[in-house]
C-alpha cells in the first residue's frame, strides 16, 4: 500500500498546502505516520506539550528522534507551554533541525527566535487570543516573527474549529505568511485557503478511518 493510501483521500485536493499532525496518531505509530505523510508530499507537524503544566501528553522526545530519522527534511515543531517550558525544551528540539519552530506568544522573543534561525529553522509565533483583529488595527508582535501560526482551537485541546477566527488569518496574511492549526477538516480547508493561509495543519481529519486512527 502506498503512502497516500494510508491517509484520508481528500488531502490530494490541497497539494503543497497540508502538514499532518503526528499527535493525532497513537504514540507507537507516530514515526510511521510521519513517514507516510512525507512520502505523500505533506509536511509533518509535531506538537510537544508541557505535560507538567497540566497540558495533555504531546509527542515525546523519543518519538521526535524517531520522526527525525523517518523524515529526512521538512518537519516542524510546535512547543506548547510556558516560557520556562520552552527554554527547557528548545535546545533539544533544535538538535533535530526542524524547518520551522512555532513558539507561544508569551515565549516568542528575539533571543529564542535567533536561536531557531541559527539552527537553520524559521521562527513562527503561535497566535491564540493575544490579538483579535478588532481591538487594535495591527498586532504588536512580541518580536519579529517569520510567520504566524493562527490557532483555530485552544492550543493543546481537541475542540471544534472556530471558523470565525479566519478573519484573523486574513488580517495576518496581509503582512506575513500564515499557517492555520486546529480542527481543520475537508470542509474547512477551502475556507482557510480563501482567508489567506499558505498551509494548514491537519490531524484527526487526515487520519480518520485510516490504520493510524484505528490503532488509537
Examine residue 77 and state whether it is found in any structural domain, yes or no: yes
Asked whether residue 69 is domain-assigned, the answer is yes
Q: Is residue 2 part of a domain?
A: no
Residue 5 lies in a domain: no
pLDDT 10s digits, 93-123? 999 999 999 999 999 999 999 999 999 999 9
| pLDDT higher than threshold 60 for residue 211 | no
The β-bridge partners of 102 are: 78, 124
Tell me how far the alpha carbon of residue 162 is from its chain's centroid.
16
156 found inside a domain: yes
**CB-CB contact of 15 with 47 (8 Å):** no
Q: Which of 168, 177, 201 is nearest to 77 (CA)?
A: 201
| Domain carrying residue 181 | 14-214
Q: Is the pLDDT of residue 216 over 50?
A: no
| Confidence at residue 73, expressed as pLDDT on a 0 to 100 scale | 84
Whether residue 9 is contained in a domain is answered as no
How many domains is the chain partitioned into structurally?
A: 1
The model's pLDDT over 41-97, given as tens digits with 9 standing for 90+, comes to: 999 999 999 999 999 999 999 999 999 999 988 899 999 999 999 999 999 999 999
Mean pLDDT of 11-22: 96
3-state secondary structure of 177: coil
Which CATH number fits the domain that encloses residue 23?
Answer: 3.20.20.70
C-alpha cell read off for 160: 471544534
| CA dist., res. 4 & res. 38, Å (int) | 9
Residue 7 within a domain? no
What pLDDT was estimated at residue 214?
43
- Tell me whether residue 6 is in a domain: no
Amino acid at each position: 500500500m502506498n503512502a497516500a493510501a494510508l491517509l484520508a483521500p481528500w488531502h490530494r485536493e490541497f497539494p503543497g498546502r497540508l502538514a499532518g499532525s503526528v499527535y493525532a496518531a497513537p504514540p507507537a505509530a507516530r514515526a510511521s505516520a510521519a513517514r507516510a505523510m512525507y512520502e505523500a508530499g505533506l509536511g509533518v507537524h509535531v506538537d510537544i506539550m508541557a505535560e507538567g503544566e497540566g497540558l495533555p501528553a504531546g509527542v515525546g522526545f523519543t518519538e521526535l528522534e524517531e520522526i527525525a530519522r523517518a523524515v529526512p527534511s521538512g518537519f516542524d515543531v510546535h512547543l506548547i507551554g510556558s516560557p520556562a517550558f520552552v527554554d527547557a525544551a528548545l535546545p533539544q528540539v533544535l538538535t533535530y533541525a526542524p524547518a520551522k519552530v512555532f513558539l507561544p506568544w508569551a515565549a516568542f522573543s528575539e533571543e529564542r527566535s535567533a536561536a531557531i534561525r541559527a539552527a537553520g529553522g524559521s521562527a513562527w509565533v503561535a497566535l491564540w487570543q493575544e490579538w483579535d483583529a478588532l481591538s487594535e488595527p495591527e498586532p504588536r508582535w512580541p518580536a519579529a516573527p517569520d510567520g504566524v501560526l493562527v490557532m483555530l482551537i485552544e492550543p493543546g485541546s481537541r475542540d471544534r474549529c472556530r471558523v470565525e477566527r479566519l478573519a484573523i488569518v486574513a488580517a495576518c496574511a496581509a503582512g506575513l505568511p500564515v499557517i492555520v492549526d486546529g480542527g481543520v477538516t475537508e470542509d474547512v480547508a477551502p475556507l482557510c485557503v480563501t482567508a489567506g493561509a499558505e498551509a494548514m495543519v491537519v490531524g484527526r481529519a487526515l487520519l480518520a478511518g485510516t490504520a493510524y486512527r484505528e490503532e488509537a
